[in-house]
Structure 1
Amino acid sequence: MGAHVPPSVYRCGVCGRLVESRVHCGSSCVLLLDGGRRLRLSKLMSLLLRHRPELGGLKVDAEGFVEVRELVEAARRLGLRWVREEHVKAVAELDSKGRFELRGSRVRARYGHSIPVEVRYEKGSVPDVLYHGTTSEAAARILREGLKPMGRRMVHLSSSIEDAIAVGRRKCRT
């Protein structure tokens, strides 16, 4: 099963915002990044920022940040020659799951790392109930052994049952 292609990204000619619709502020927008390219860049950003920065010649800092410019250069070296800084910023800003964070001229993955980074999260309220999406096969092991981060640094939990179900479906092979 292929990955869900996200919407294309447009820039509003009136207010300059990045949007996922062709019309904003009552005017036509300019296509910045089609859905297919957005998906490819997002997957590469996840790979480089969460798991394999060395693949792109990147050096992440202690909190997982790299310069956007350096990430663009890495993406180009790895075959996405069309990537520009505004593409990386668009993917980071509009990611529906909040996978990425922009801070000034730097970008990082917010979660899901298998490399050692110290992501400092803002303090906030934690829901009373959190959910973990998984397969039925893994559920039996989790009940026996407890939740483990496996190849990641932390266990992924969702604040809604719908999000957890979506995660579990992505993990299913059928």
Structure 2
Amino acid sequence: MTDRKDFRAISRLASHALRHEPWLYELELEDEGWVPVDELLSALRAERPEWPPLTESDLAEMISCSDKKRHELRDGKIRALYGHSVPGKLLKQPAEPPTILYHGTSPATVERVKADGLRPMARQYVHLSVDKATATQVGHRKSKTPVLLEVNAAQAYEAGIAFYRGNDQVWLADFILGAFIK
């Protein structure tokens, strides 16, 4: 497995298995989303028998090649760091966020967000970015002309809203009140 395109395909399939429908791959996520690497590898091999045999080293390289850092390997286990839509909330450790975070969205949702705040919708957590470029990239999934929202994460944190580190670029929150968004 040396072709970056292959790593992208592996990442997509692993993400689906670890973030959205683990039961389709006969995987059971632990409370924090971990699964044994050998179980994921077996599931990936069964799903795509045409791929060369995958190893833990291939998964490590997939993670290191990814610009989004969606996965984490540790002690023979792997998990998706964010983006989960599985039923039942995965446990995350609260952490103090950066002062300002960003969220890209469509122009059609801005008024609702001002009134109701940011909600996770089909995901377990609201996804926030540490920089404008990443938030804009995410917003482009929702609109050709995304709106960039600025979240005063420091004030929200001081007011009792829990934040969780997704990775170096992504932070998560249960919700964000409209008062902390501009």
Q: TM-score, normalised by structure 2?
A: 0.70
The whole-number CA distance in structure 2 between the counterparts of 1:42 and 1:127 is 28
Aligned with 2:90 (options 112, 115, 118): 118
**Which structure is higher in RCO with an 8 Å CA cutoff and minimum separation 6?**
2
Structure 2 alignment gaps of length 5 or more: 146-182
C-alpha contact 1:93 1:101 (8 A) present in aligned 2: no
Corresponding position: 1:103 with 2:68: no
1:101-146 deviation per Cα after TM superposition (whole angstroms, max 9, x unaligned): 11110000111111234343474x5211111111222223222322
- Preserved CA contact (<8 Å) 2:4 2:65: no
1:100 is displaced (CA, Å) by 0.9
User: Percent identical across equivalent pairs?
Assistant: 37
Q: 2:60 pairs with 73, 89, 99, which one?
A: 89
What residue number does 1:136 align with? 107
The AA in structure 1 aligned to 2:48 is: G
Number of residues of Structure 1 aligned to a counterpart in Structure 2? 142
* Deviant stretches of 4+, over 6 Å: none
Contact persistence 1:133–1:165 (CA under 8 A): yes
Consecutive unaligned residues in structure 1, runs of 5 or more: 1-31
Distance in 1 separating the partners of 2:62 and 2:94: 21
Cα–Cα, structure 1 residues 84 and 155, in superposed 2: closer, same or farther, change >3 Å?
A: same
Q: What does residue 15 of structure 2 align with?
A: 46
Once the 2 structures are TM-superposed, how far is the Cα of residue 173 of structure 1 from its aligned partner? 6.2
